[in-house]
Chains A and B, each alone.
Chain A
Amino acid sequence: GAVVSQHPSRVICKSGTSVKIECRSLDFQATTMFWYRQFPKKSLMLMATSNEGSKATYEQGVEKDKFLINHASLTLSTLTVTSAHPEDSSFYICSPPGQGASEAFFGQGTRLTVV
């Protein structure tokens, strides 16, 4: 299956700072990447879809200016949490989209803690 590397796995930052999370596709070219957020004891919620060469598509209710998503190349998508607040603390996971009947694969996830 598709190999996706997500970095960092854990990050602690101070309120007001920005944090960048990287998602790299190691053995395939990804024109699209999904970014999910997982709250404690909750399901994964799709935040946005990054698209190589065009603007990201955000789900309803997700702040575009807070969660900056960039798809710099066919192997790299990034999520930047800007001016982080403690309520942004969460587990963030990237996933290249499966299609049709194919299963999706996921990065290892990033545990963000804002103090």
Chain B
Amino acid sequence: AQSVAQPEDQVNVAEGNPLTVKCTYSVSGNPYLFWYVQYPNRGLQFLLKYITGDNLVKGSYGFEAEFNKSQTSFHLKKPSALVSDSALYFCAVRPMDTGRRALTFGSGTRLQVQP
């Protein structure tokens, strides 16, 4: 079975500072990894994904994520945070080799960017 861990319930950062939202995963075989953002009472919006190849993945709104196979991590990063980035962020995994199509989500991390 696969699992995703987001160790921080909340991350606070000042506007203009870099941000990191942590994610580690456990999966049999190779993973497809995803980050989604959720605003209040809304569905999830796709930010970026890792499939294969370059470990640094660039996504929407200036976000990027670094895949680290040895540490089984896929941390979300942004060089300069905006107040509008404040939202709930989910990391998710889909095993590459099992044919399972549903995503397994982490518990979510609330990002609070202070002006």
Check B32 against A106 for contact (C-beta < 8 Å).
Answer: no
Main SS of chain B's interface residues?
A: loop
Q: Known contacts A103-B46, A103-B49, A109-B41: does B101 contact A98 (CB below 8 Å)?
A: yes
What residues of chain B lie closer than 8 Å to A105, measured between beta carbons?
A: 46
- Known pairs A32-B101, A98-B94, A106-B45; list 16 more (Cβ under 8 Å): A1-B46, A34-B101, A34-B102, A42-B107, A43-B107, A44-B44, A44-B90, A44-B105, A91-B41, A97-B101, A99-B101, A101-B49, A103-B34, A104-B103, A107-B43, A108-B42
Give the number of A-B contacts (CB < 8 Å): 56
Between A and B, 7 residue pairs with Cβ closer than 8 Å are A34-B102, A91-B41, A97-B101, A97-B102, A103-B49, A106-B45, A108-B42
What residues of chain B lie closer than 8 Å to A44, measured between beta carbons?
A: 44, 90, 105
Size band of the interface chain A makes with B: 20 to 34
What residues of chain A lie closer than 8 Å to B51, measured between beta carbons?
A: 101
Report the minimal beta-carbon distance from A101 to chain B, rounded to whole angstroms: 4
Report the minimal beta-carbon distance from B60 to chain A, rounded to whole angstroms: 11
Check A93 against B107 for contact (C-beta < 8 Å).
Answer: no
Cβ-neighbour of A106 out of B9, B44, B102 (below 8 A): B44
What residues of chain B lie closer than 8 Å to A107, measured between beta carbons?
A: 43
Chain B CB within 8 A of A78 CB = no
Check B43 against A93 for contact (C-beta < 8 Å).
Answer: yes
Chain A, Cβ-Cβ closest to B44: A106
Main SS of chain A's interface residues?
A: loop
Check B32 against A101 for contact (C-beta < 8 Å).
Answer: yes
Most buried by A among B41, B90, B96, B107: B41
What residues of chain B lie closer than 8 Å to A32, measured between beta carbons?
A: 101
The distance in angstroms between the C-alpha atoms of A97 and B107, with both chains bound, is 20
Chain A 16-70 interface residues, beta-carbon cutoff 8 Å to B: 32, 34, 41-44, 46, 49
Check B49 against A9 for contact (C-beta < 8 Å).
Answer: no
